[in-house]
Amino acid sequence: MRTTTLKNIAFSAMLVGSIGLTSCDKNDDPKPTPNDVLQHFAFVHYVDKSAYVGTFGDLTPQATDNKKAFEFGFGCYLFAKGNTVLVPEGKFGDKVHKFTRGVHGELQKAGTMTFEQMAQPGEINFIDEQRAYVALHGRGKIALINTATLQKEDEIDLSPYAVQDNNPDPGCNVIRDGKMYVALNQLNSPHTSVPGLGTDKP
């Protein structure tokens, strides 16, 4: 009786082992790791006084974390054109950080542009793949930058539109029909500046 039981156990162990071996094939396609999943979207996630810039794959309900995100101060946001993602520091800084998208859509640090002290770079409006306008909240100006080289090419001074001080507080802007419309965030402003795209003048 014992011999039969031992034979059954040995046979069962061999059967389980052979099933395990046949299920392992050297030609099996490897399952993608989370790093290999295509990242379609970039996001900013605010936690306390920090902002985390990262990516996720799709719009299905899922958990995300900040393990691979880049940390910035509260108040930054992102602007993207093609594979270029720009993150201005806004009211709390003087830099614009550049990222490019990797093979799987992940963010890769690609440089930093520093403006004058208290420039407070904010809203960014891309003209094309290599140029963009950046609202400088703290200086009352809009900078034209080269997004490939991270160099300032020109500047639009909006101080003539200021009320009670020298800064009309340029904010959100949109380009339409060859003109850029700029919202001025100053209180009691009777103006909305409309710089011409061809002249970079208000």
What is the per-residue DSSP string for 60-72? SS----STTPEEE
120: left (phi over 0), alpha (psi -120 to 50) or beta: left
Please count the CA atoms within 13 angstroms of the CA of 46 that sit on its side-chain side.
8
Is residue 196 scored above 80 in pLDDT? no
Rg (CA), the chain: 27
Supply the pLDDT for residue 136.
Answer: 96
Supply the pLDDT for residue 65.
Answer: 81
Burial 86-104 (b: 16+ CB within 10 A, else e): bbbbbeebbbbbbbebeee
Adjacent-strand bridge partners of 154: 144
157 touches 166 (CB < 8 A): no
Q: Give the separation between CA 86 and CA 97, rounded to whole angstroms.
A: 6
Average pLDDT over residues 72-80: 90
Band of pLDDT at residue 180, cut at 50, 70 and 90 = confident
Hey, what are 65's tokens? 């974390």
- pTM, two decimals, is 0.75
Q: Are strands 95-101 and 107-114 parallel, antiparallel or unpaired?
A: antiparallel
Band of pLDDT at residue 12, cut at 50, 70 and 90 = low
Chain mean pLDDT for the chain: 82
Band of pLDDT at residue 20, cut at 50, 70 and 90 = very low
Is residue 125 scored above 60 in pLDDT? yes
CATH class of 36-184: mainly beta
Is residue 45 scored above 80 in pLDDT? yes
Looking at per-residue pLDDT, the higher value among 168 and 198 belongs to 168
Average pLDDT over residues 111-116: 96
Hey, what are 74's tokens? 């509260």
3-state SS string over 105-116?
CCEEEEEEEECC
Residue whose C-alpha is closest to residue 114's, from 130, 126, 96: 96
